[in-house]
Amino acid sequence: MAANKHLDLSSLGQGDRELVDRQKEKILASPQFKSAKQMQRFFSYVLEKALHDEAKGLKQYTIAVEALGLPDDFDADSNPAVRILAGRVRERLEEYYKGKVENTPLYIEIPKGSYVPTIKRLTDGVAALDKERDVAEDSESQGPKLGLFCFNDDKQSEESNQLLEHISATLAKELSHFFFSRLYVQIPFLNKKRSELIGKKAMKKYGIDFTLLLYIQELPDNKYELVYRLWDNNLEEVISSEIFNVARGQSDKERSFLLRKIFAVVTDFYQGKLHLNWARRLLANEESIPEKYRVLAYYRYYADDLGRDAFKKAVVQCQRALERNPNDVIANIVFADYCRRDYVYGFDFINNSLEQGKAAAENAIRLRPDSHEAHYALGQILFCQKDWVHSVNEFNLARDICPNHPAIEYGTGFHFCLMGHEKEGLKLAKKAMELSRYYPSWFHITPFLEFYKREKYQEALTEALKIKEPKVYHGPLARCAVYGQLGEMAKAKRELKELLNNVPEFMTTGKGILTRFLGSEELAAKVWQGISKSFKS
């Protein structure tokens, strides 16, 4: 067996992680494991723990109780069930791989004396790996490809370079959750000269669109600066760059929050520089956009436009992708969001929109359980269906998978406020704004609504004035309503005029939109009251 390289499971890139997932599913469906439910549970559990960097917790007791469902009083000293099962799983894995090496890019095994799986990349399976990856790319929607490169400095201390290595590994692991972009290359620790050479080769081989460059600068008093630069390989220019302070002895929680600020600026779908530049470049020549990029390119297009025509064009692209491949994870997630928007804004372009949206989100979760986007999309659908208990569960699952994600923190906070959890909701909305100075101004809708509900109209106006996106009609809507309540009719009419320029039919459809958007007839009626005052005056 030609196996010459172990993979670091805690920092796999998106492409390799998908290969591991597919390899696992093949193993579980094989004759060796298909009817052996306890072996399936054991294998799935230990592999997921290893992939999520939780291998230290793989003890006989935790496997017995958490994976196999044995009683809490399980005693490993007197009960050899886990050891026996582990031995059988090892034997079945060996049996599975016999005769399959030439067609298998990855080899998973559980070494004797350990419950922690290891994965080797097979040199004989490189062609199979590339072929499998190519097949996946051809049949599934995808977004831009991101390479991660970290530069060390031979003149700096070993401690600073170790810090960079740790940060880069953590960053790679967290970036793997951002399914709308693909982390193809992760090189954690290279000097600049060698990184540039390998980087050029990787860009050519994998077609990398963007490169995220990281390095650490030492400062006096045992302090450091983490520098990142996002490089557009097509434009050959830096499109985003920032410096963050990193204190010595900083906790993992503090460091994770810092890294999330990088995610917010770089990879967040709504505000991230990566998706904005990528989609706008593709949309400059719509006729030449490859099919695999169309779902996310037009999703980005609709996010910038928000009109009915843009919505229809985007939905059609998504439906075509699902016709080609019903298990296209990205297309399912995006379609679930379109279904919610179709319901809320009354576009009536998708039949049984909430039911279809729920099915799409659940399918995406089945295919990709660790996708925060999929759980978040389902949470929004369930909110619209007034299933608020399960909606909260899905929002929290999304936050657990991808903590400190600005759009998810904000969206969860917004829905929590509408479901009556005002204190926690406002806290999350504030946190979302603190994560990035680039946050969209419509994040101020949540505090606006909370002030408006309590008839603190002057404070509500302060928040409404901060909502400035030109094609987001929430700003003029909020200002029209609050000016109406304050009796400032000239200003209210000016905002109403802008609102009707964007949505001419709003006075006919607006109250229904508000009710569906807010999930509350009472709050919708209160907002509508302020708008009606300006319309009637």
Decide if domain 141-262 falls under CATH 3.40.50.10070. yes
Q: Is 180:275 a contact under the CB 8 Å cutoff?
A: yes
Q: How far is CA 350 from each of CA 64, 301, 311, 378, 513, rounded to the nearest angstrom?
A: 47, 19, 11, 17, 16
Residue-by-residue pLDDT tens, the chain, 537 positions: 444 455 555 445 555 667 787 788 888 888 888 778 888 889 988 888 887 777 777 888 888 888 888 888 888 877 888 888 888 888 888 888 775 544 566 778 888 778 888 877 664 444 444 444 455 555 789 889 888 887 766 677 777 777 777 777 777 777 776 778 877 666 655 666 666 666 677 677 778 888 888 888 888 777 788 888 888 888 888 888 888 888 777 777 777 777 777 877 787 777 778 888 899 899 999 889 999 999 999 998 887 777 888 899 999 999 999 999 999 999 999 999 999 999 999 999 999 999 999 999 999 988 888 788 999 999 999 999 999 999 999 999 998 887 777 888 999 999 999 999 999 999 999 988 887 777 788 899 999 999 999 999 999 999 999 998 877 788 999 999 999 999 999 999 999 999 898 888 888 898 999 999 999 999 999 999 999 987 765
Q: The pTM is what?
A: 0.72
For domain 440-537, give the CATH number.
1.25.40
E-strand ranges in 115-181 read 118-122, 145-152
Side by side, the strands of the sheet bearing 223-232 are 182-191, 145-152, 210-219, 223-232, 237-247
Domain map of the chain by residue range?
3-138, 141-262, 440-537
Select from 353, 376, 325 the least CA-distant residue to 141.
325
d(CA 11, CA 53): 8
d(CA 379, CA 27): 32
What are the tokens at 148? 């991660």
Q: What DSSP designation does 348 have?
A: -
Select from 332, 305, 329 the least CA-distant residue to 319.
332
Number of residues that make up the chain:
537
What is the Cα 275 distance to its own chain's centre? 13
Select from 220, 272, 221 the least CA-distant residue to 242.
272
d(CA 78, CA 96): 31
Rg (CA), the chain: 26
